[in-house]
Amino acid sequence: MAPTTPGTRPANPRFSSGPCAKPPTFTLDKLSGAALGRSHRAAIGKEKLAAAIERTRDILGVPADYRIGIVPASDTGAVEMAMWSMLGARKATMVAWESFGAGWVTDVVKQLKIDAEVKEAGYGEIVDMASLDYATDVVFTWNGTTSGVRVPNGDAIPADREGLTICDATSAAFAQDLPWDKLDVVTFSWQKVMGGEAAHGMLILSPRAVERLESYTPAWPLPKIFRMTKGGKLNEGIFRGETINTPSMLAVEDYLVALDWAEQIGGLKALMARADANAQAIWDFCDSRDWIANLAQDPATRSNTSVCLKFTDDRIADGAGFAKAVQKRLEAEGVALDVGAYRDAPAGLRIWCGATVETSDIEALLPWIEWAFHAELEAQTESA
Ligand SMILES: Cc1ncc(COP(=O)(O)O)c(C=O)c1O
């Protein structure tokens, strides 16, 4: 018997893990105040860039002595800038438990050829952060977007570490508590929890990270878009909004609009609460069913943004084919777009739960997942 079709559909079926859904109040005409056709070095451009920096500081609670810069090439640009400019002064520890972390390992070991210890865990697991040597520079991803596994807190990171901690927090910032005293470099992109655009990255530096930049020159050449110092001194302008090259003023305006929304709903606490409620709805759904489960093995490490799910029913013959077919059914019904697992991750679904997603949409989606699962299982049995 065909499973019953659910009665309601999500008002917004956009559950992509990046670019993520725009804020619920977003409309294109909100961008009409953009400084289009104006120089980013004119007063109006500079003001907007500086506002993007300072309002980020306010909402995230970034300490006053940390620098915040807008840099080229989204989160990847920010991470690369940090690694190429700072690593090599001491040994590195590269930590990875999914695809993006693994990408940073490749960069450091194969491209930069830095003396590094590599600590890896499989999809669904996490590296024990207490087992790392913090006398080395530690590079890690706070929230593994492709496995749905996150660092639960920064307790394992010593406050008096000798090395730097370089943290890719792109799918964590604005959704998870980031312990600033434990982090020397934090990066993220506007395209994730804030539902902004991907053009630019945010690079946040602790005073110790700045000290590294001013006291160490890497042995390799640095392209202009990576260079943060001039004559051995930090180029402070970058951290006031004097970007290294031309930014998109449309993307800047879009980020400011997202920040407006974040402030209106109550700032960081409200943003985190929205992600928590979204993820909790999915966790509850999975807990009461025996055919679907969180990819994250330890509940303490479950992501509240990129929730990754696997199908666990014994009757499924081809896991990858089944997950793909379920995803296609959801997409064909217009109830969930872009919810397939990442290409390098185990088969399953990935549902973005960041702050711009409405809990009512997650709740409306869940019966459709149940429907698609049963429909596909039935189709598989019939064709066997
Ligand atoms: C953990 C992580 N790092 C890096 C990236 C790359 O981000 P971007 O494409 O914004 O540079 C992503 C994108 O999804 C990510 O999830």
Q: Is 76 in the pocket of ligand 1 (CB under 6 A)?
A: yes
Full pLDDT tens readout for the chain, 384 residues: 668 899 999 999 999 999 999 999 999 999 999 999 999 999 999 999 999 999 999 999 999 999 999 999 999 999 999 999 999 999 999 999 999 999 999 999 999 999 999 999 999 999 999 999 999 999 999 999 999 999 999 999 999 999 999 999 999 999 999 999 999 999 999 999 999 999 999 999 999 999 999 999 999 999 999 999 999 999 999 999 999 999 999 999 999 999 999 999 999 999 999 999 999 999 999 999 999 999 999 999 999 999 999 999 999 999 999 999 999 999 999 999 999 999 999 999 999 999 999 999 999 999 999 999 999 999 998 887
Domain limits, the chain: 28-263, 267-383
pLDDT at 2: 66
Alpha-carbon distance of 48 to 253, in angstroms, equals 8
Q: Is 338 in the pocket of ligand 1 (CB under 6 A)?
A: no
The DSSP string of 44-97 is: HHHHHHHHHHHHHHHHHT--TTSEEEEEESHHHHHHHHHHHHHTTSS-EEEEES
Contact 85, 213 (CB under 8 A): yes
Contact 168, 184 (CB under 8 A): no
Identity at 357, one-letter amino acid code: V
- The minimum-distance atom of ligand 1 relative to the CA of 141 is 1
Report the candidate in 84, 267, 105 with the shortest Cα–Cα distance to residue 174: 267
pLDDT at 159: 96
CA 350 / ligand 1 centre spacing (Å): 15
pLDDT at 303: 98
Q: Is 98 in the pocket of ligand 1 (CB under 6 A)?
A: no
pLDDT at 75: 98
Q: Is 101 in the pocket of ligand 1 (CB under 6 A)?
A: no
pTM of the model: 0.98
Q: Is 171 in the pocket of ligand 1 (CB under 6 A)?
A: yes
Question: Measuring from atom 13 of ligand 1, which residue has the nearest CA?
Answer: 18
| 28-263 against 267-383: fold identical | no
C-alpha distance from residue 67 to each of 71, 186, 246 (Å)? 12, 10, 20
- The minimum-distance atom of ligand 1 relative to the CA of 18 is 14
pLDDT at 381: 86
CA 81 / ligand 1 centre spacing (Å): 14
Tokens at 91, concatenated: 């040994």
Tokens at 48, concatenated: 């907007």
Torsional sign, CA 83, 88, 92, 96: positive
Question: Measuring from atom 8 of ligand 1, which residue has the nearest CA?
Answer: 75
Question: Measuring from atom 2 of ligand 1, which residue has the nearest CA?
Answer: 100
- The minimum-distance atom of ligand 1 relative to the CA of 144 is 1
CB environment 213-238: b (16+ within 10 A), e (fewer): beeeebeeeeeeebbbbeeeebbeeb
28-263 folds as: Aspartate Aminotransferase; domain 2 (3.40.640)
Q: Is 100 in the pocket of ligand 1 (CB under 6 A)?
A: yes
Class of domain 267-383: alpha beta
How many Cα atoms within 13 Å fall on the side-chain side of residue 276?
9
Q: Is 187 in the pocket of ligand 1 (CB under 6 A)?
A: no
CA 383 / ligand 1 centre spacing (Å): 39
